[in-house]
Amino acid sequence: MLNDVLYLWRNRERPANPRRCVKVWVKRCYHIVNLYRLLLRSMLFRWRGASIGRLVVLGKSRIEGKATLLSIGEESSLGSCKIALHDRVTIGRQVTINDGVILLTATHSLQDPGWSHKKAPIVIGDYAWIATSAIVLPGVTIGRGAVVGAGAVVRRDVPNYTIVSGNPATAHPSLRATDLRYSPVLWNAPLEAWVGPTPRILP
């Protein structure tokens, strides 16, 4: 948590205008408790053994299983999603995962009379966006900048910058922009209060 706080302090907005300066500090004071809660949640998962990058927002994520199987890159934002850590889940940098998303790393074999348990990792590339209530099944890799539409069920890998939707998820002919340079966490009010209103990647 201390590293996150120091990082925000070093990269804080420094208004030259006195009125703007007062407004910024009032906003920081107003959001200080929420900022503490955001940073504390990430710190608690680090203590449990997860690899959590700088300025990660975990929201009210329901994360089940061994925290050591979870890795989240810098400035990624997770809403009220569910992650089942039967196997490794690797989430890149600047990833957005909306409310209601489910990441499943295990299932049962329908070919086995004993209904055996099988598991496989999930990998989510940098700048990927997984929209509300999508489900990602075991063994799937979602590429850099890929978009998974709301309510989609992803059973196969999604290539870089590809947009998929539906059940089963199918690709759209249009691709996402490739020169991505934003940070989803900087739209979060407690963080935006420190770095300012311009969405950008911090140095």
**Tokens 């500090």 sit at which residue?**
25
Tokens (6 digits) for 128: 């990927």
The answer to whether the Cα torsion of 191, 152, 121, 119 is positive or negative is positive
Distances in Å between the alpha carbon of 184 and those of 23, 26, 35, 177, 180?
23, 23, 15, 16, 11
Rounded CA separation 147/201 (Å): 20
From the number of C-beta atoms within 10 Å of its C-beta (0-12, 13-18, 19+), residue 34 rates as middle
β-sheet with 122-124: strand ranges across: 51-52, 70-72, 89-91, 122-124, 141-142
Given the residues 31, 86, 108, 117, the one annotated as active site? 108
Tell me how crowded residue 145 is: count the other CB atoms within 10 A of its CB: 23
Phi, psi of 69 (to 5 degrees): -90, 0
Known active-site residue 108? yes
Which residues are identified as catalytic? 108
